[in-house]
Every structure is written in C-alpha cells, then in structure tokens.
Structure 1
Amino acid sequence: MSYDEAFKTLLISSNAKLNLELNHLVIKQDENIAKLFLKDINIIILESLQASLSSALFNAFAKHKIILLTCDETHSINGVFTPFLGHFQSAKIAKEQINVSAQKKAILWQKIIKNKILNQAFVLKKHNKIEQSNELINLAKKVSLNDSKNIEAVAAALYFKTLFGVSFSRDELCFENSALNYGYAIIRACIIRAVCISGLLPWLGIKHDNIYNSFALCDDLIEVFRASVDDCVLKLKGESEFLSKDDKRALIGNLQSKINFDGQNYPLNRAINHYVANFKNALLYEDELKIVKFDD
C-alpha cells in the first residue's frame, strides 16, 4: 500500500455487521449493504455498541494499517486498535530512536511548540483577535530549548480564554470541550497510524513521558495540528455537552481541511503523513523539521 493511499474515515453510528469480502469491508445495516476497498480506509469510528466484526476483519485492518476507534455509552471515543510492526526495518529504526540525544529532542520540541503557538496565533487572527494573536507571536519568539520556561502553558491560557471566553476551562464539561476532545482524538488516530507505518516507537516521546501512555510520541506530534480542530469547533453551535451527528461529521470532515507543508497544500490527513515522515528524518538523521501552516 502506498503511503498516501488511504483517505476515507467511516463513522458507524447504528446497528451494523462488518465483514471481510475479497479485500473489501462489507457493511450491512438492515437491508442496506455497502462495500469499500480496504486500501482506501484510513480510520473507522465504531460509535454503535451494536456493531459486530469478525476476527478476519481485524486481521485485515492490521494488514492495511487501518485505525479502529471505539466509543463508550456516551459516544465518546475511548479506545484505539492499531497495527504494529508497520515498517520492514522496525528494529533498526527503534534502536536509532532510542539512541537519539537529549539535545536533539530538546531542539525538536522547541520547534514543535513554536509551530503550535504560531498556528494558534493564526486562528486568533482569522477570527479578528488581532491583539491577542500578536501576543502569541511574541510568545513564540520566547520559546527556548525543550520549552524550559513553559511558554506553551502561558500561550494556551491566553489562547483558549480568547477563543471561548474568560471563564472557559479545559476541565469543564461543556460542548466546546466535548468537540475539542472528539476532534483531537481523530487527529491523534491519524498520527498513530502514520507513526506505526514509519517504524518509530509510538510510546517513546521526545517530551511526553508517561508509563501509562502507549502513544507518547503521537501526543508530541499532535501539537502542531491541534489548532485546526479549535478552528473547526468555533464554527459549531452546540447547546449541551453532547455532540450531534452533524457536529461529528464536521469534525471528521476537518481531516480534509487544507494544510500547507513544505510549500505545498495537502488535506490534513495527508499532511500528517508527510509531517511524520519529515519528523522521523529530523529525529534520526539531519533533516530540518519543517513548519505546518494553515490555509488562509
């Protein structure tokens, strides 16, 4: 399978039987039947608790590097099935990754946080918060090696209160946080897939480090893409902490939003693939980590 081939994200929100048939995913819902090429599928979100899958299908998901997200009773994403050993040189790459110096990790984390804050500034500017956008741009200039002064947290406090109001907290149970969490989970799944394909160890982060987190590296790499979800959430009009089907479709559709990477525009899901490949070469070799920018 070519690196950029998969592009479809599926949401299974009602009773369904999922089966494998000649390299196709077959979805049966009542009298309706749909067939999709496995090679075209990027992510499947299994929202319904009344969906059944065969073990052969799980094997096919692993073979085709398809990410499966499961949901709990409130329809919130709570689990991920991902293939492993997605690269033919996994052992070689893992050894190189383990031996990366602390200095190189610190340099890369500095670049990631600068990129994240500049993307947050872009979103504020887009929504006519010019003064606060300029403040973030100035904060980005102050990010040091390994973000030792924790400028990321200072920027986040200003950013979220500007976006969602001075009383907003990321710990609050509200529509905005439900939408942010859902959107981030989808982006995270794409990054998990790309990292597994690259051969990098997803649990070995350059900054995030938690013995209970199997995807610490993915949580490092998501930072530059988070603001795309924030921008999408601003366009939604929820009235409770629960997301409608339209809200979820919009957050899934955000994977097709335009991202500029290395001078070219890509849909977000493909930009993630290119970014992870570039990050791998910057981490293990001497490539420059390139900047992710959002489309005007």
Structure 2
Amino acid sequence: MGYKVVLVENDVNMSIRLNNVIINRDGHDIWVSVDDISVLVIDNMKVNITARMLSYLAEHNVGIILCDAKHLPIGYYGDYDNHSHITKILGYQVEYTKEAYDELWKMIVAAKLLNQKKVLIRLGRRIEIIKKIEDFCADIKAGDTSNREAHGAKVYFNELMGTSFSRGNENILLNAGLDYGYTIIRSYIARLCVGYGLNCQIGIHHKNEYNRFNLVDDLMEPVRPFVDLYVYHLLENEEFFKIDHRHKIINIVNHKVMYRNKRMYMGNMLEEYVMLYAKGLKDGTELIFPDIDGYEGDRDEV
C-alpha cells in the first residue's frame, strides 16, 4: 500500500498517465507514482480532475479528501469493497457475536481513556483530573453501557483547553486543527480497512445506518489522543490556522512511534493495527492498541 499523503493546494489540472498522477500547473508537470500515494488531499476549488482518474485511484485504493472554502475536510471518496475475499471477511464480521463486539468496545474505550490520561500527564495537568480519568477507565462495562467514554472526553477536553472549550465550536482554533488531523487519520484507516477486505459499515460500537465508516470511527478512537497532543503543541499561542499548520498535520502519518516492540512510522502502525483486527475476527488474534507512550513525533530518523 502507498504511504504518501499528497496535498494539492494550487489551481491545477490533474490526470493519470503510466500509473502516475500528473499534476500540471502553468505547463509544468509533476509526476507522482500512484503506488506511493495513500491519500490525496484536494484543497482548491479550481482543481480539475477527471472521472477516469477518480476511477483509477479507487481501483488502486487511493483515498481522496476534498476540502471546503475554509480549507477544512468536507468529503471523502475511495474504493468500495474491492477485495478478493470480501464475502468471506464479511462473514467473519457478521458472525462475530454481540458479546464479543461489546467486550472489544470496552477495550477500545479503555485504550482511548488511557491515552487521554497520558496526554494530560505529558502536559503536566492536574493530578486529580488524571485520577478521575483513571477511575472512568476502571469502571468501564462491556459495551460501555455507562458511557465512560463520553464522560472521560468531557473531563479531558475541559482540562486540556478549559471549561469554555466546546468540540463543536468552529470558531475555536484548536477545533480546526483537530478536525483536520482526525480526518487524515480517518481516511488513512478507511483505505486500510478496505484494503484488508473489511466492510466499513459494520462497526464494533457505532451503528449509524447513514455512516459508511462506522468501523473506522470505532478503530480510530485510541488514536485520537495522538492527534490531540500534536495539534495542541502545534497551535499553542497561534492566532490562525495556516497553510503551514495543514502541511504539518498531514504529515502526522509519518511521525515515529513504537508499536509491538518495533519502531515505525504511524502509517505502518495503523496498518498493523487494522491487520490485527481483521485477523482477530478470523482466528482470535489479540488486538494490540496504539499506546501514546510510544509516540515520538516528527523526528527525522526511524
């Protein structure tokens, strides 16, 4: 699978030639191998792209994110279940019991809360709040029927950004960065799920009939704190969400992490994470969750 997230911000014409994306601006061509691309981000309303190119990228499992006039992700286009063993894997997803899914969701919520706690520790926040999140983590029931995840998120963001902070407020700078980062991770996981033959509509906990990415939204929960930590540092003391910020957030999939006792890029970690989930449905392989203790950020070397 590809590994590059390619950002297109200029008024250009795009086409496909010899398994390459051709980006033409003012008569000059830039060639990027399709095999190297994981996600293409289009952040300009005047970009010209053909139906043939969209079809070709989908066939090669390249996700496409479209941004609005505010430079925020607004739509996603990608491959639709193009996998040779799709029926067999769909069977594993359908046959997985509700009890097993509920237990898995309990573990996902625990992994997310633990990572949120570790973000607050890294930032030197109040011990009593950290202890409160620990208590939420210890009190999770199968299926998270007591909604510890939502309670933990409220306490976490209040401590991270203050009690006036609201995740739904578009006028808060941090929200722009978080939404951008979450969309990059979501799109990356979506193409990985399709690549491993998983049906993204069949979630572990999310069951929204109008959401094509229920599974993706479930799997990405423990990864959100990685975005939180990076974007918090990136936008601290900034007044506006700038082009440079978007460039840096897109590169988060190339940040360094430790996962399963190996040092790798975040994109590789996400692929192994999705692979383990797919294997677990089939043969009970243990799902190992991303741990923010292993997050090293954007260091140069692996």
**Shared fold per TM-score greater than 0.5:** yes
1:126 and 1:192 map into 2 onto residues whose CA distance is 29
The Cα of 1:130 is off from its aligned counterpart by 5.3
Aligned counterpart in structure 2 of residue 233 of structure 1, from 231, 234, 237: 231
CA contact (8 A) 1:110 1:145 kept: yes
CA contact (8 A) 2:41 2:65 kept: yes
Q: Which residue of 1 aligns with 2:298?
A: none
Q: Does 1:36 align with 2:32?
A: yes
The Cα of 1:95 is off from its aligned counterpart by 1.8
Q: Which residue of 1 aligns with 2:86?
A: 90
Which runs of 5 or more residues in structure 2 are unaligned?
A: 296-302
The Cα of 1:11 is off from its aligned counterpart by 0.9
TM-score norm. by structure 2 comes to 0.92
2:56 and 2:251 map into 1 onto residues whose CA distance is 25
Query: Which consecutive segments of 4 or more residues in structure 1 shift more than 3 A?
Result: none
Identity of aligned residues (%): 27
CA contact (8 A) 2:254 2:266 kept: yes
1:30 and 1:123 map into 2 onto residues whose CA distance is 45
CA contact (8 A) 1:112 1:224 kept: yes
Counterpart mapping for 1:1-296 below 5 A? 5-129=1-125, 131=127, 132-173=129-170, 174-237=172-235, 238-240=238-240, 243-294=241-292, 295=294
- Amino acid of the residue matched to residue 181 of structure 1? D
Quote the RMSD (CA, aligned, Å). Answer: 1.5
Decide which moves more: 179-188 or 5-14.
5-14
CA contact (8 A) 1:232 1:250 kept: no
2:285 and 2:193 map into 1 onto residues whose CA distance is 17
2:138 and 2:93 map into 1 onto residues whose CA distance is 28
CA contact (8 A) 2:61 2:195 kept: yes
How many correspondences in the alignment?
Answer: 290
TM-score norm. by structure 1 comes to 0.93
CA contact (8 A) 1:93 1:200 kept: yes
CA-to-partner distance for each residue in 1:239-266, whole Å, 9 max, x for gaps? 24xx210110121121122233222222
